[in-house]
Structure 1
């Protein structure tokens, strides 16, 4: 299992609309083979900061399966204009579970 993590800085005054559009965009990521789940967490200390966690079977399910799909174009259209700066997306693999 691979975990995709992105810290999202949303432009001032746009958090409510971002959250609504994120909910709409979620249907696009859910439709990709290898997708398991995702969550959007809101930072308690900084109102405009969020963290996206998405769980994929393997790295290529995200980097190729999603990012090269028509669904990604819909995701991008709904969400990417909210970010300033554009987020760095990283992928993690579990090393230890307690």
Structure 2
């Protein structure tokens, strides 16, 4: 007895199979319905695992981006003091205000 495993987008992501009932009889409709219900939970678990991995990857990318931004956005107190003391011309003095 084979049943497809679906994801949340209604795409088949796998197949589950059971073989040989313990009593040796063929699988019936009740067996199929029970197995289909079980496979729904398998699909949910697989889908949750995939989404969790995507979240972990996104979190890692965000962490790297934040580290890069933090590195480039920092400066020493000396640099800040030097910038504050600098004589920076106004836009109108440079003639670029138009």
TM over 0.5: no
More helix by share: 2
Structure with a larger share of its residues in strand? 1
Band of TM-score, shorter chain: under 0.3
Query: Could you state the TM-score of these two structures normalised by the residue count of structure 1?
Result: 0.21
Please identify the structure whose Cα radius of gyration is greater: 2
RCO greater where, 1 or 2, for CA within 8 Å and sep 6 or more?
1
Q: TM-score, normalised by structure 2?
A: 0.21
